[in-house]
Every structure is written in C-alpha cells, then in structure tokens.
Chain A
Amino acid sequence: DSGVTQTPKHLITATGQRVTLRCSPRSGDLSVYWYQQSLDQGLQFLIQYYNGEERAKGNILERFSAQQFPDLHSELNLSSLELGDSALYFCASSVRLAAYNEQFFGPGTRLTVL
C-alpha cells in the first residue's frame, strides 16, 4: 500500500457523459500527478498540482481538467467522454518540489466508456 488512495476503483459510463475521479495523496505530500494508462498510448503524464496550484501539463485533452483542494486531495474531471477515453487513470504523489522525488502511485481508477 503506497498511502495514495483513489476512488472509485471502477467506473462505467456512456459516451458524452462527465465523470470525476478522486485522489488523496500520502500524508504530507504536496504534489499530485495524474497519469493515463491505455494499451495503445502506454503510461502518459496528464497534469501536476503542487500545493493547490497547477504546476505542469502533459498530454491532457481540453475536455479534461483537474484541481487540488486546500486539504490537498485532487480531482480529475473528464467530460464529453469518448470510447477512446477508456483507460486506467493513476494518481501519484510526492513530498515536495525538491531534487529527485520518488512518485508514489495509487491503485488507479479503471474507466470504461460504452
């Protein structure tokens, strides 16, 4: 157990819908990262938040957005869902913006878009 929690574990929805994935980082970790894992694209970095502020963006679609709240938990919002958005979404956390940080991954949320 990495100490990073994600809910829900599984999510099944239809095309065009909107979903919210939730992540709670390890106690004391200020940085949260979101990754998408699919068979064709592999593990891709989406976005990072540090202490409530957006810090870096990766291959995140405009239909996706995220935020980090004052209690440091984060939510990833996916809207106008398409079949291709079906994937495993991981959240990771690390302690701070210092040199050489290990990122601890949560168990993931499996999203299926029908």
Chain B
Amino acid sequence: GENVEQHPSTLSVQEGDSAVIKCTYSDSASNYFPWYKQELGKRPQLIIDIRSNVGEKKDQRIAVTLNKTAKHFSLHITETQPEDSAVYFCAASSGGGADGLTFGKGTHLIIQP
C-alpha cells in the first residue's frame, strides 16, 4: 500500500518568514495530493490540493509543488501569520481522493511573534 513520509515533524518560524513542509510518497499510481490544516481539537480542513497532471498550484500565500519523478510534494507558506500556527498534514490518493487518503504524520507549525 501507499506510504507517505512527512518532514519536519515540528517547524518554528518567525512571523513574516516562509515555511516549507515536504512529503514523499511510495505508490507511483497516486494522483491526488491534498494538504489539510488541523487546529487543536478541531477537524482537518483542506487548504490546497494538487493533481498529478500539474506541477505547481498557488492560492494567495500558499503554494504546493509536485515532482512525480522523485515522488515528492511540498507545501510553501509565505508571509506567515500567527493564525497559520497549526498541524499540517499531507496526504496521497490513487483514486483522485475518491478512495481513502493516506496521510503523513503531520508537521506542527509554530509561528513566533
């Protein structure tokens, strides 16, 4: 089955700086890669996703890049703000998200004022 590795497990950045979280996956059939943000005690919420036929996608301060050859994808958050503090999860799916998602272990992002 699919295996998703996520690094780092904790990331502390100064407010206003950029944050990068990296994930690798094992199943070359995976074709959908969502990123979820989870605040303490809350549900995971989708913040951005990318499909295997796209190399990069941007939404305001958030961007995701995908390298299918190397089987890795990354989340980039620019101009970080205090409300960006949360746990971020990457995930992969071979069914376009229409099947179960395989999640990474999560990255605890801490924004230092």
- Chain A residues engaging chain B, CB cutoff 8 angstroms: 2, 31, 33, 35, 42-48, 55-56, 58, 90, 94, 96-108
- A44 to B101 Cα, complex, angstroms: 8
User: Which A residue sits closest to B97, measured CB to CB?
Assistant: A101
Q: Take A100-B51, A105-B44 as given contacts and tell me if A42 and B103 are in contact as well, using a CB distance cutoff of 8 Å.
A: yes
* CB–CB A100/B97 < 8 A: yes
CB of A28 to closest CB in B, whole Å: 15
Q: Mark B44-56, 1 if CB is under 8 A from A, else 0.
A: 1110010100000
Q: Across the interface, name the chain A residue whose C-beta is closest to B6.
A: A42
Q: Which residues of B contact A (CB under 8 A)?
A: 32, 34, 36, 42-46, 49, 51, 89, 95-106
Q: Do A102 and B43 have beta carbons less than 8 Å apart?
A: no
Q: Majority SS of interface residues in chain B?
A: loop
Determine the distance from Cα of A108 to Cα of B46 in the docked complex, in whole angstroms.
15
Minimal beta-carbon separation of A25 from chain B (angstroms): 14
Given contacts A43-B89, A102-B49, contact A56 B99 (CB under 8 A): yes
Contacts of B96 in A (CB 8 A): 98-101
29 A-B pairs with C-beta separation under 8 A: A2-B45, A31-B98, A33-B101, A35-B100, A35-B101, A42-B103, A42-B104, A42-B105, A43-B44, A43-B89, A43-B106, A45-B102, A46-B100, A56-B100, A90-B43, A94-B97, A96-B98, A99-B98, A100-B49, A100-B97, A101-B96, A101-B97, A102-B34, A102-B49, A102-B97, A103-B46, A103-B97, A105-B44, A107-B42
> A90 contacts B100, CB within 8 Å?
no
Chain B residues near A106 (CB-CB < 8 A): 43
Min Cβ gap B103→A in Å is 4
A-side contacts of B101, CB under 8 Å: 33, 35, 45, 103
* CB within 8 Å for A33 and B100 given contacts A2-B43, A100-B51: yes
Chain A residue with Cβ nearest B102: A45
- The distance in angstroms between the C-alpha atoms of A106 and B100, with both chains bound, is 15
In Å, the complex CA distance between A51 and B74 comes to: 34
